[in-house]
Amino acid sequence: MPEPTTRPPEREVDVLRGGLALFRARLPRSWETTIEEDVRVEGSLRADAMVRLRNPEGAPATLVVEAKRFVEARDLPRILEQLSRLIEQMQTQTGVAGRGQAGPLLPMIVARYLSPRTRERLEDLGTNYADATGNLQVIVDRPALFLRDVGAQRDPWRGPGRPRGSFKGPVAARVVRALADFRPPMTVPELVERSGASTGATYRMVEFLEREAYIEREPRGPITRVDWRRMLERWSEDYGFVASNPTSSFLQPRGLPVLLDALRSISDVRYAVTGSVAAEYFARYAAARLAMVYVDDPDRAADKLGLRPVDGAANVLLAAPKDNFVYERARVIDGLIIAAPSQVAVDLLTSPGRGPSEAVALLEWMKANERAWRG
């Protein structure tokens, strides 16, 4: 992984030159490059740089570059709209485009540091990028070029101060679950009530999610859009049924149907079924072979359910949750208490075997049936 410079690039021109130098160093030696900075187009329109490329056969392409010291995921629509207008104007001016010799004009963003979420969004939008820590992706269809490198996964130049937020911990879990489970619009006070998180922590989480473009919010107003699927997928990187909770392995020697009948019959054990068994009630994938259940006291629950503790070949996993959000918005289906689909999907994403594939099937069902599970 490339090492960032000791001191951060402070000026946009330093960001531009540093990012393009990293790009140029990774370009095949047989390719030619010409970089022109501060290219005026018309009126106030200008490109921070144009990078003209030629492959060994002489086929051209041009990167139209916008340089920013700081870029967050929520900034991308505005920046890319500006780049799109700039490229459209260039395409109408043969002088700027080099009388047709520039080849395709492609947008590129260069910044001091681009977070994983920002890079993900750029890739989804088909936009090339580079940052001063070495994160890089440039894709050109004609002439064919694919460059990719990985730099820092955290901003190495961020100073001390209030944490910028993360998906770790019960506050993040509560806010993410509430945003997924309820359709917008939703004010932050409503989110506080629905999530059960503190007011200050909820506002900080909302600011973080807005910066990372998982949500959109009117200025000082309600949340108007939630990218709930990407948000759940990202949360699963920091939360897992096994990784985040003490779990115990058990065997129900007579099979899962016997376990489910036992769960239907008990009334003094708080539980929520998740994983493959729960997913079957929303999006059938294949017969479940492993039951995953949240319970407050695994040993007591195992005794009441007639389970046998085992080290291997388990067909039941009981998890003692560290926070009660796993029970939030659970529902009774076929006599069983089933965790909310948002919780089930995340638990499957981090479960072994075919769990991630089952999660994809469930997420597709959730996308097609939002009114069936979102309040």
- The amino acid at residue 355 is G
Q: Token digits for 62?
A: 């041009």
- The amino acid at residue 178 is A
Based on the domain organization, do 17 and 136 belong to the same domain?
yes
Helix (H) or strand (E) holding 87: helix 76-92
Q: What is the pLDDT confidence band of residue 40, given thresholds at 50, 70 and 90? A: confident
The CATH code of the domain that includes 124 is: 3.40.1350
Q: In this structure, is residue 4 part of a structural domain?
A: no
Based on the domain organization, do 320 and 254 belong to the same domain?
yes
pLDDT at residue number 3? 46
With H, G, I as helix, E, B as strand and everything else as coil, classify residue 339: coil
Q: What pTM value is reported for the model?
A: 0.74
CB burial string 23-62: b at 16+ within 10 A, e below: beeeeeeeeeeebeeebebeeeeebbbbbbbbbeeeebbb
Based on the domain organization, do 228 and 352 belong to the same domain?
no
Of the chain, the percentage scoring pLDDT greater than 90 comes to: 77
> Using one digit for the tens of pLDDT, what is the confidence trace for 339-348?
999 999 999 9
pLDDT at residue number 99? 43
Based on the domain organization, do 47 and 134 belong to the same domain?
yes
Q: In this structure, is residue 332 part of a structural domain?
A: yes
Q: In this structure, is residue 114 part of a structural domain?
A: yes
Residue 369's domain spans which residues?
Answer: 247-373
Based on the domain organization, do 41 and 140 belong to the same domain?
yes
Q: In this structure, is residue 352 part of a structural domain?
A: yes
> Using one digit for the tens of pLDDT, what is the confidence trace for 92-139?
775 544 445 678 999 999 999 999 999 999 999 999 999 999 999 999
Residue 4 has pLDDT above 80, yes or no: no
Residue 145 has pLDDT above 80, yes or no: yes
How many domains, in total, are found in the chain?
3
Q: Where are the alpha helices (DSSP H) in 144-285?
A: 169-181, 188-195, 199-211, 228-235, 256-265, 275-279
Q: In this structure, is residue 159 part of a structural domain?
A: no
Based on the domain organization, do 219 and 267 belong to the same domain?
no
Q: In this structure, is residue 122 part of a structural domain?
A: yes
What whole-number distance in Å separates Cα of residue 209 and Cα of residue 202? Answer: 10
Peptide bond into 356 cis (omega under 30): no
